[in-house]
């Protein structure tokens, strides 16, 4: 399942976010969204979890929680065109 995480602190890393989600199960990939021109992360990331059950538990368990000093929003991303190739 593809998950969108919003309101992420600029100090957070992909590894920290992956570790947070791994408490709920297997994480296939984590990708921070970055501004096209500057390359600076914009506070959003995609997390891909292969198990829908584990992903739903992660969404329920993590939505609205504190992560690196920010209250994150976590939801299922439906119909998203996930980055591929050089961007993923």
**CATH number, domain with residue 21:** 3.30.70.330
Q: How many domains does the chain have?
A: 1
Average pLDDT, the chain: 90
Instruction: Kindly state whether residue 88 falls inside one of the protein's structural domains.
Output: no
Instruction: Kindly state whether residue 35 falls inside one of the protein's structural domains.
Output: yes
What pLDDT shows up at residue 26?
Answer: 98
Instruction: Kindly state whether residue 66 falls inside one of the protein's structural domains.
Output: yes
Q: How would residue 27 be classed by pLDDT, with cut points 50, 70 and 90?
A: very high
What pLDDT shows up at residue 85?
Answer: 47
Give 33 or 85, the one with higher predicted confidence: 33
State the residue range of the domain holding 6.
Answer: 2-79
Question: What tens digit of pLDDT does each residue of 41-57 get?
Answer: 899 999 999 999 999 99
Question: What tens digit of pLDDT does each residue of 8-26 get?
Answer: 998 999 999 999 999 999 9
Q: Where are the alpha helices (DSSP H) in the chain?
A: 14-22, 52-62
Instruction: Kindly state whether residue 16 falls inside one of the protein's structural domains.
Output: yes
Distance CA 47, CA 27 (A): 7
């Amino acid at each position: 399942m593809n998950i969108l995480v919003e309101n992420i602190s600029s100090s957070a890393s992909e590894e920290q976010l992956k570790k947070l989600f791994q408490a709920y199960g297997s994480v296939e990939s984590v990708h921070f969204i970055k501004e096209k021109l500057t390359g600076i992360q914009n506070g959003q990331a995609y997390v891909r979890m292969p198990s829908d059950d584990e992903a739903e538990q992660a969404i329920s368990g993590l939505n609205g929680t504190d992560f690196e000093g920010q209250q994150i929003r976590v939801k299922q991303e439906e119909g998203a065109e996930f980055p591929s190739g050089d961007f993923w």
